[in-house]
Amino acid sequence: MIENLQDVMMLSLAELVECRDENTGGHVKRTAEYVRILANELVEAGVYSDILTPEYVKDIIKSAPLHDIGKIGINDATLLKMGSLDEDEFEYMKKHVELGAISLQKMINETDKESFLYTARDMAHYHHEKWDGTGYPSGLKGEEIPISARIMAIADVYDALTTKRPYKEPFSHEDTVNIIIEGREKGFDPNIIDVFKEISYKFEMVKFRL
């Protein structure tokens, strides 16, 4: 009962943040579903089996909706801009990952330190890091990036590319998958990409359900 209440509260909190930006409607639920699919497929394939314990996978899935919670601290002029961000605006937008991590750390400090909150903090903080070290905010590289954030990164990019935004039309599923695969060993963990290639059709199916 308590666990179900936590899930509902986390999703509701994430959707409140999303309500500020009508251009990303449904992003929270779709990315959470992509994360669930990919995490379970990694377990099935035996990838990172020493890390992806049943409890950790459960925490990853529960935490996924909170990955963009830091956007609550980004001003409307930037968050709701009807077009591409300029360099200064983009640098400011990047702060959402640190704002999210700070917010979730405060929740950890004020609660019984639920394990999923640590995972949520990592996902919020590091889902824009890249495998080759060129991401933000910390320039983490390879397995320095928490695996939860590496999974979230693929889900986040897939949804961003396949969704219509004020500054672009949606990419097709096929083009999106090709772009993500091209990011193997650059933006994304090659081991996770190898699994994603085989099951990417399941992501496309989500688009029709949510």
Q: Quote the tokens at residue 152.
A: 């979230």
Averaged confidence pLDDT in the chain:
91
By percentage, how much of the chain surpasses pLDDT 70? 91
Nearest partner of 148 among 203, 67, 41, judged by Cα: 67
pLDDT at 204 over 80: yes
Would you give the end-to-end CA distance of the chain in angstroms? Answer: 25
Is the pLDDT confidence value at 3 over 70?
no
Which is the CATH superfamily of the domain at 2-209? Hypothetical protein af1432 (1.10.3210.10)
pLDDT at 195 over 60: yes
Task: Please work out, in degrees rounded to the nearest 5, the angle formed at the alpha carbon of residue 119 by the alpha carbons of 181 and 65.
Answer: 70
- pLDDT value at 164 more than 60: yes
d(CA 8, CA 197): 31
Q: Which amino acid is at 144?
A: E
Structure tokens at 107: 């929740």
Query: How far is 45 from 92, CA to CA, in rounded Å?
Result: 39
pLDDT confidence band for 21 (50 / 70 / 90): low
Tell me the sheet residues that pair with 184.
188
Which pLDDT belongs to residue 82?
Answer: 84
Report d(CA 69, CA 88) in Å as an integer. Answer: 21
Strands (E), 51-136: none
Contacts of 198 (CB under 8 A, 6+ apart): 41
pLDDT digits (tens, 9 = 90+) for 25-65: 588 889 999 999 999 999 999 999 999 999 999 999 999 99
* Closest by Cα among 81, 168, 64, 55 to 121: 64
90-127 residue pLDDT tens: 999 999 999 999 999 998 998 887 889 999 999 999 99
User: How many whole angstroms from its chain centre is CA 86?
Assistant: 23
- Residue 156 binned pLDDT confidence (cut-offs 50, 70, 90): very high
Per residue in 73-90, pLDDT (tens digit) is: 999 899 888 888 999 999
For the packed helices 190-209 and 27-45, what is the interaxial angle rounded to 10 degrees?
130
Separation of alpha carbons 84 and 166, rounded Å: 8
Q: From 100, 93, 77, select the one nearest 160 (Cα to Cα).
A: 93
Predicted local confidence at residue 44, as pLDDT: 98
d(CA 49, CA 42): 8
pLDDT band at 2 (very low <50, low <70, confident <90, very high): low
Number of Cα atoms under 13 Å in the Cβ half of residue 92: 14
- List residues bridging with 165 in a β-sheet: 168
